[in-house]
Structure 1
Amino acid sequence: MGNVRAAATANLSEASTSASASASWLPVRPRRVVVQRGSQPSSINWDRWELIVYARLEAAEKEGSGSGADEESQGQGGAAAAASTSASACAPSSAASSPSSFSGHLATSDLTAAYFRRWDDPAAHQPALQDRLLTSAWREALAPGSLEGKTVLDVGCGLGMLSLMAAKAGAARVIAVDGSAGACDSARRIVRANGLEDRITVVHGAVESLRELPGLAGGQKVDVVLSGWMGAGLLAGGMINGVAHAVKTWLKPGGMVLPDRVSLWAAALEDRDALLEAKESWSRVAGFDMSAALAQAIKHPRRDVLTRKSQLLSAPQRLAEWRTADLAPDTVLDAATGAYARCPIQLTAVREERLFGLVMWWDAMWTLGGALEGEGKSPVRFTNHPLSSASHYQQLMLDFPKSVRLAADDVVGGELVLRPGSTDPRDLEISLEVVAAGTGIAGSYRISHLPTA
């Protein structure tokens, strides 16, 4: 299995003049902000006062004592004291590698802690909470009575929405776990506000680090593990490993994992509108031609949506599928390659057109352990397919370094690899090597795990 990061340099010579698709890598003009400045007393010449303060500090340093300057500064409303503090703060540090230095902070930084702190802000959860397509799928899957009497573990509970749904679906006990202290605090408040504190217990901590769960003793395990672990490009965020740990450690044999299955898909993409708009945007920035940056800009995948059905140049191909009940920490990554998945690609062009890259999306299914299928009912399904209803996940656009003219029935063949990020394992890196119309194309892309609105 694998992870991928992309290189792209677009051939725009055949791009059309229509430009309507928005791209996340376009330069954004900052909003103009009015800065209000407090009026200064007209009786003080602040520029002259600053010179006097520094002259006194310099004289005090030469005498080996700064007490005189400090006392006088305090008598002038603290202005000199502030100047003294500023002067000392600007002095270069002689211990650049000490723990208190910036480089020291970098050396001891914890990417996992930083990841969880990002979720302390409730606003980071809003895109998912306000995604009607996603919440409707969960609500349909966790219908009243569907979890009657069961013990449920919610992995990465966030603000607790899925835990609330599980309790309303009849769960006797819900253990909600999240590594974000801020999210857990909000979740506890939300649980109390909804009168469900007798059935939902919120636990702060990464699920991989927990040695026991409240309410479980004597080797007890849960009936259900549920999690909204899916991220950009499906795997960005690295939460699949936490779900795998929960399944192996806390799920009883034959228990359910929700959603049951997830699949990653791709199709060939015509992307001339977005690339033309990007070229025009970068060609005029503050009166300068910045178009030389475009080659680097399109090396980064973007979350976007199709503006025309005709942008799909092939039938979709399922790249990989995960059955979540079969997840295990030692098999999330392939032991030999360190990849989530290695995915053969074979996409057939449906018409003559210029190929610009790939569009990727994913879907998830809830079968409640297969019960719905056994009853002859259709499972609940969520997808962010390009032609489906809009979701905050959108699609992932991977533009190739160069575009290629395809004839009808031409095959785009090769391999795509998904891996954890090389610098931050919660990122997703995608690498690909394909051949299209006799032209070899290689690229690597990185998808950030950071949530975006």
Structure 2
Amino acid sequence: MEHMETSTYFESYENLEIHRLMLEDSERNKSYRNAILNNKDEFCGKVVLDVGAGSGILSVFCAQAGAKTVYAVEASNVYKIAEEVAKENSFENVIKVIHCKVEQLDLPEKVDIIVSEWMGFYLLHEAMLDSVIVARDKFLKQDGLMFPESATLYSAPCSLPSMYDYWEDVQGVSMTYLGAKLRENASKTPVTDIVFPESLLSDPEVVLWIDLNEVTLEELDTIKLRHVAVANKTGKYQGICLWFTCNFPSKFSEPVILSTEPESPPSHWKQTTIVLPTNIQVEESTPMAYDLLLRRSSVDKRKYTIEVTMLDPSEVEHPEYCLCHLTKCILVRAMLEKYEKDDMERSENK
């Protein structure tokens, strides 16, 4: 069964529409291009491994930056396109396209740099991160570089007007019954869509931070978060939004960050939303609490299930300096502010 799922995964990347979608994502391409070409000193004369090379654009960036050899590894039949792209850009003597899975790869040498666009929806879903870790452990030199070098997954409560408000008046017709059915379906599978910045109801919380130089496969099996969020505006609490950022090495340049947050230009990843079954009106300073669990599928290791458990904010522990309107948090804030004021007065009197 797992073999069939893996085969389906690679076959899906033979659909050229997927590659068109990624290549038309200017933010994705620009981030990788800047991260690589702004660090030519790191790439010049070096050996690079491109994990999941696809159509080969990242391999070409590496060759343009002066890499001596780029091993472009692609498991799907799109490797043929990568070969033609290398020739089209006159880098066929630099880019060595290899048609196999990274797990079955055999190279004649260790590499200085690993480059990969491995991220899936909400960072982990249908991602190639496992393959990147395998490649790192097997082929990367001890002082080698990872592009990107870290990634962060975020979570925040949000409004989802396209799932709720829209169906109340569709050109003068109430369609709330259909809207409820759509939300019922959406509650079973996270929705990939654009979430506008004004729809976020609180500051985000970090769900997961990954150091690509050290993360292990086992650490990615289960990810847990308890988020006690505080509404920074009045709004409708209708879902939970997930997005990610990736950071690239920046020894010789300004840091490059690929961000899929709602405030950034849209990317093909968009944002991932978990639709709540109820529409809750919240006022500014209202606390919202939930447990978020991401668990790797036992059938297909590239997929994750998401579980959300809604919690009573009055029954869970809040952050030390929580800004919500619950009495216990107001008292703690007042006490902390008094301590800070006393400390400042003692410092001034010294």
Q: Is 1:361 aligned to 2:212, yes or no? A: no
One-letter identity of the residue aligned with 1:159: S
CA radius of gyration, larger in: 1
Q: By how many angstroms is 1:262 displaced?
A: 0.5
Q: By how many angstroms is 1:423 displaced?
A: 4.1
What corresponds to 2:206 in structure 1?
A: 318
Q: Deviations over 1:263-315 (max 9, x none)?
A: 0011110123432335667xx9xx9x7566335222132111134x4311101
Q: By how many angstroms is 1:261 displaced?
A: 0.8
What corresponds to 1:264 in structure 2?
A: 153
Where in structure 1 are there 5+ consecutive unaligned residues?
A: 1-106, 441-453
Q: Sort the Cα spacing of 1:352 and 1:124 in 2 relative to 1 into closer, same or farther, 3 A.
A: closer
Q: Is 1:433 aligned to 2:309, yes or no? A: yes
Picking from 252, 269, 279, the partner of 1:393 is 269
Q: By how many angstroms is 1:427 displaced?
A: 2.2
One-letter identity of the residue aligned with 1:114: T
SS at match of 1:405: strand
Whether the 8 Å CA contact 2:289–2:313 is kept in 1: the answer is: no
Q: By how many angstroms is 1:110 displaced?
A: 1.2
Q: Find the aligned partners of 1:164 and 1:291 in 2 and give their Cα distance.
A: 46
Q: By how many angstroms is 1:414 displaced?
A: 3.4
Q: Find the aligned partners of 1:290 and 1:403 in 2 and give their Cα distance.
A: 15
Whether the 8 Å CA contact 1:271–1:311 is kept in 2: the answer is: yes
Q: Find the aligned partners of 2:260 and 2:232 in 1 and give their Cα distance.
A: 22
Where in structure 2 are there 5+ consecutive unaligned residues?
A: 317-350
Whether the 8 Å CA contact 1:240–1:332 is kept in 2: the answer is: no
Picking from 380, 383, 397, the partner of 2:259 is 383
Q: Deviations over 1:347-389 (max 9, x none)?
A: 1111333311111110011124xx24xxxx5311110110111
Q: By how many angstroms is 1:249 displaced?
A: 0.6
Picking from 178, 181, 198, the partner of 2:74 is 178
Q: Alignment identity in percent? A: 27
One-letter identity of the residue aligned with 2:282: L
What corresponds to 1:81 in structure 2?
A: none
Whether the 8 Å CA contact 2:2–2:300 is kept in 1: the answer is: no
What corresponds to 2:7 in structure 1?
A: 113
Q: Deviations over 1:66-100 (max 9, x none)?
A: xxxxxxxxxxxxxxxxxxxxxxxxxxxxxxxxxxx
Q: Find the aligned partners of 1:290 and 1:318 in 2 and give their Cα distance.
A: 34
SS at match of 1:234: coil
Picking from 128, 133, 158, the partner of 2:22 is 128
TM-score (norm 2): 0.81
One-letter identity of the residue aligned with 2:294: L
Q: Sort the Cα spacing of 1:433 and 1:291 in 2 relative to 1 into closer, same or farther, 3 A.
A: closer
Q: Sort the Cα spacing of 1:325 and 1:298 in 2 relative to 1 into closer, same or farther, 3 A.
A: same
One-letter identity of the residue aligned with 1:344: R
Q: Sort the Cα spacing of 1:415 and 1:132 in 2 relative to 1 into closer, same or farther, 3 A.
A: same
Q: Is 1:410 aligned to 2:286, yes or no? A: yes
Structure showing greater relative contact order (alpha-carbon pairs closer than 8 Å, 6 or more residues apart): 1
Picking from 132, 142, 149, the partner of 2:45 is 149
Q: By how many angstroms is 1:112 displaced?
A: 0.8
Q: Sort the Cα spacing of 1:189 and 1:396 in 2 relative to 1 into closer, same or farther, 3 A.
A: same
Q: Sort the Cα spacing of 1:202 and 1:187 in 2 relative to 1 into closer, same or farther, 3 A.
A: same
What corresponds to 2:141 in structure 1?
A: 252
Q: Is 1:348 aligned to 2:230, yes or no? A: yes
Q: Find the aligned partners of 1:108 and 1:243 in 2 and give their Cα distance.
A: 19
Whether the 8 Å CA contact 1:152–1:224 is kept in 2: the answer is: yes
SS at match of 1:197: coil
SS at match of 1:274: coil
How many matched pairs?
311
What corresponds to 2:332 in structure 1?
A: none
SS at match of 2:7: helix
Q: Deviations over 1:192-241 (max 9, x none)?
A: 2221111111111110122x12xx2xxx3110011000111111113110
SS at match of 1:325: coil
Picking from 102, 108, 122, the partner of 1:233 is 122
Question: Following superposition of structure 1 onto structure 2, how do residues 199-348 of structure 1 map, counting pairs within 5 Å?
Answer: 199-210=94-105, 212-213=106-107, 216=108, 220-278=109-167, 293-299=181-187, 300-307=189-196, 309-329=197-217, 331-333=218-220, 338-339=221-222, 341-348=223-230
TM-score (norm 1): 0.64
Whether the 8 Å CA contact 1:248–1:327 is kept in 2: the answer is: no
